């Protein structure tokens, strides 16, 4: 099949879950004989069109800031969507798979699919619905409207989690296939644990929705029992300075280390040398880091929130799903770091669970979805 993947951010020049998914699945589809084209912003030097990991990358416009004041740039989405059309319409594809967010490119892909007779699929990582009002205030009405209209563009969609599928169905979406994000088990298995061990670890973008402040408060409670508790916070973001000040206010600055951004292999090494991964996020479209922690044999604590898809990944055999509450999180952490036998049992179950999320398996499932949708377009 001749496949087009459309997303403005392209891995490894821009790192994140959606672009990593396109990269991992695209290169595996190419390895299995499919012709894979990726259409995104030209983040690389040299020619506009290059070969990379068996895929053909098309740079449709010059690099732009994806975020302005912490929010996705509307100007960038408009420019990318306009510039995308002449590049995408040049060729005929069996399937065009476009990432839903930031929505506007989906309308370009719809126009091209009508003109060229391509099969169009939209991959949804999240469905925001009323969260748009929290994100944009009153202007959230327009974000919610565009999200609704986008859900009507394609005859079939892919959701990365059951939660996302359910939210998409509530908008009237149909023919939705759940295909989760994955991991490279072999690569994770090769990583050596870091010699610098920590009791607790968190990795992710430091934004309000991740609720890292609640984790810091939980560490403060735990310190009353374990003076030497060690917690590593990996990541950067707009909340970082506030969180560093909070650690000082809570008098846990000696117990918490902020590492900033680290390369993937370093993150995996640190997870392997930790006792428990804590993800107190209130909003996760999937929660890739949960599966990565499982593959490292590390149990996960996450929270019960309506928009936290990661909570569905964690079972009683692989960790705890608790309320977004300082005391509940601290109790769960204490349980895991003090009960060695429980942690060992959960570690074994976590490693077994991770095997279901191997990228090779998901790539084969995706190829099957493409073939089926292409036949009925």
Q: What is the pLDDT of residues 305-317, one digit of tens each?
A: 989 999 999 999 9
111-127 mean pLDDT: 95
For position 17, what pLDDT does the model report?
Answer: 84
For position 4, what pLDDT does the model report?
Answer: 98
- CA 25 – CA 28 distance, rounded (Å): 5
Q: Which residues pair with 322 in a beta bridge?
A: 303
Q: Which helix (H) or strand (E) holds 71?
A: strand 71-72
Percent of the chain with pLDDT over 70: 100
CATH entry 3.10.129.10 includes domain 2-182+358-375: no
pLDDT at residue 70 above 80? no
Q: Which CATH number is 185-356's, of 3.40.50.300, 3.40.50.10860, 3.40.50.2000, 3.10.105.10?
A: 3.40.50.2000
Average pLDDT, the chain: 95
Which strands make up the sheet holding 49-52, listed edge to edge? 49-52, 55-59, 35-40, 2-6, 95-99, 119-124, 156-159, 176-178
For position 377, what pLDDT does the model report?
Answer: 63
Task: Output the CA torsion sign for 47, 67, 232, 340.
Answer: negative
- CA 285 – CA 289 distance, rounded (Å): 12
For position 294, what pLDDT does the model report?
Answer: 98
Q: How confident is the model at residue 68 (pLDDT cuts 50, 70, 90)?
A: confident
Q: How confident is the model over 127-170, as pLDDT tens digits?
A: 999 989 988 999 999 999 999 999 999 989 999 999 999 999 99
CA 254 to chain centre: 30
CA 89 to chain centre: 29
Secondary structure (3-state) at 156: strand
Q: How confident is the model over 4-46, as pLDDT tens digits?
A: 999 999 999 998 889 999 999 999 999 999 999 999 999 999 9
Residue 263 corresponds to which tokens in the numbers above?
């390369």
- CA 330 – CA 312 distance, rounded (Å): 21
Percent of the chain with pLDDT over 90: 92
What is the location of CATH 3.40.50.2000 in the chain? 2-182+358-375, 185-356
For position 376, what pLDDT does the model report?
Answer: 74
- CA 125 – CA 332 distance, rounded (Å): 28
pLDDT at residue 186 above 90? yes
Q: Supply the DSSP string of 205-220, one letter for each residue.
A: ---GGG-HHHHHHHHH
pLDDT at residue 67 above 90? no
Residue 273 exposure: Cα atoms within 13 Å on the Cβ side: 17
């Amino acid at each position: 099949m001749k496949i087009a993947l459309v997303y403005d951010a392209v891995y490894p020049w821009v790192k994140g879950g959606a672009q990593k998914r396109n990269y991992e699945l695209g290169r595996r589809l190419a390895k299995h004989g499919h012709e894979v084209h990726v259409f995104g912003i030209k983040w690389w030097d040299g020619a506009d069109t290059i070969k990379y990991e068996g895929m053909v990358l098309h740079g449709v416009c010059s690099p732009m800031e994806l975020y302005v004041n912490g929010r996705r740039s509307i100007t960038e989405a408009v420019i990318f969507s306009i510039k995308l059309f002449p590049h995408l319409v040049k060729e005929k594809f069996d399937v065009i798979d476009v990432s839903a967010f930031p929505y506007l490119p989906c309308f370009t892909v719809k126009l091209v699919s009508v003109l060229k007779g391509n099969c169009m699929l939209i991959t949804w990582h999240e469905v925001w619905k009323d969260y748009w009002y929290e994100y944009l205030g009153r202007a959230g009405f327009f974000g919610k409207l565009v999200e609704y209209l986008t859900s009507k563009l394609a005859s079939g969609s892919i959701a990365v989690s059951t939660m996302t599928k359910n939210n998409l169905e509530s908008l009237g979406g149909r023919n939705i296939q759940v295909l989760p994000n994955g991991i490279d088990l072999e690569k994770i298995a090769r990583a050596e644990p870091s010699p610098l061990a920590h009791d607790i670890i968190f990795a992710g973008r430091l934004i309000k929705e991740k609720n890292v402040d609640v984790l810091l408060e939980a560490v403060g409670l735990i310190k009353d029992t374990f003076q030497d508790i060690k917690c590593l916070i990996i990541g950067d973001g707009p909340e970082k300075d506030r969180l560093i000040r909070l650690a000082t206010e809570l008098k846990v600055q000696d117990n918490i280390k902020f590492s900033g951004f680290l390369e993937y292999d370093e993150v995996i090494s640190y997870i392997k040398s930790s006792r428990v991964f804590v993800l107190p996020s209130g909003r996760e479209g999937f929660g890739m880091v949960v599966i990565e922690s499982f593959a490292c044999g590390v149990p996960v604590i996450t929270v019960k929130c309506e928009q936290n898809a990661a909570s569905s990944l964690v079972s009683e055999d692989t960790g705890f799903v608790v309320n977004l509450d300082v005391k509940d999180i601290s109790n769960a952490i204490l349980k895991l770091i003090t009960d060695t036998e429980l942690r060992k049992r959960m570690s074994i179950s976590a490693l077994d669970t991770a095997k279901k999320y191997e990228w090779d398996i998901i790539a084969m499932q995706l190829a099957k979805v493409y073939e089926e949708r292409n036949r009925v377009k």
